[in-house]
Amino acid sequence: MKTLKSLLTACLLAGMAFGPKMAQAANYRDLALAEAAARSWWVYASSGSSVAAEIWYVGTATESVVTISSNTMYFYAPAGTLDTAVDTDGLIDLAATNRDTTGELCDYIDSLTNYGCNLLGSKRDDNTNRLLDQLATSGTNDLKAAGGFRVEFDTAPVSDAAVQPGAPGDDTDFDLRVWATPSSKDTRIVLKTCDWNINGTTNTDEVRVFGKSVDRSMEVHIPPLAVEATLNTETRVWREPITDDTLQTRDWTDNQGNGFMFAPGESVVVSGGNGTTVQATVANYLRCKFEER
């Protein structure tokens, strides 16, 4: 009996010795599996190709196209026929107080039976008159085509006030934007690294990160953050002044391969510029590497 008791005690002590190590090994294994399952990608923006949003059409018409001016957005399905299912007359007043931000506009379009909308590089509080002016043309920028139609950013709001849709000079950008959106509510975006060459000479020309971050050690923000529940792509959590027309890099990756982490299901927007300085040269760009976990 004494021998059996001694044997049991020895087994118990061995389990206590190896248990934490086995648990630790399991944690490392889970972490390795999570890293292996992560996917990463680069998003690139340059002058004249900075994407704001995507919209699409799933109705019975053969196509759907839009005209966008600084104050109005016209929906045609097909080209030449206003779709009266949109605000009863086929057009949206972009100056209306409930439609003057891209968040409000996208929410409304997404609520329509035959249309959908996702914000990409646009923050929810961006003014709608920053969308690229264009004329509705049959066979061009068809919302019913595979992948829908990606609306790019336009020139600054003030300079666009008197510009006719589609006029020359409507293809320059004052802010360059890249973005990442998780594929599900259970996965999160990790910002790994960015590099850029931004045009600007004042201390308000910055690269800024917007989103609901969970790693406060990474944040560089003024003024203080809003209440946790309200954080979204309107919330700036990081910023860095640019050096005019100079290649710069920021790498958030630590020794464990982690980066700037955001809450599950939350989008991230990175912006370069100050909204008034034109990103005019072929060298001006912004690109970032994101990861989804």
The CA-atom distances, in angstroms, between 14 and each of 4, 19, 24, 187, 259 are 15, 8, 16, 38, 38
Q: What is the pLDDT of residue 259?
A: 95
Q: What is the pLDDT of residue 9?
A: 53
Q: Which long-range contacts (CB under 8 A, 24 or more apart) does 158-166 make?
A: 160/70, 160/129, 160/133, 161/70, 163/70, 163/133, 164/69, 164/133, 165/67, 165/68, 165/69, 165/133, 165/134, 165/135, 166/133, 166/134, 166/135
Distance CA 63, CA 97 (A): 30
Cis geometry, peptide bond prior to residue 223 (ω within 30 degrees of 0): yes
Q: What is the pLDDT of residue 279?
A: 83
Tokens of residue 88, six digits: 């009863």
Q: What is the pLDDT of residue 97?
A: 93
Q: What is the pLDDT of residue 225?
A: 76
Distance CA 270, CA 123 (A): 9
Distance CA 97, CA 157 (A): 16
What pTM, to 2 d.p., does this model score? 0.80
Distance CA 191, CA 194 (A): 8
Reading the chain (293 residues) residue by residue, the pLDDT tens digits are: 545 555 545 544 555 454 544 444 444 444 444 554 578 999 999 877 889 999 999 999 999 999 998 789 999 999 999 999 999 999 999 999 999 999 999 999 999 999 999 999 999 999 998 888 888 999 889 999 998 999 988 754 434 433 344 443 445 678 899 999 999 999 999 999 999 999 887 767 899 999 999 988 898 887 777 666 778 899 999 999 999 989 999 999 988 889 999 999 999 999 998 877 888 777 899 999 999 99
Q: What is the pLDDT of residue 29?
A: 44
Distance CA 1, CA 289 (A): 65
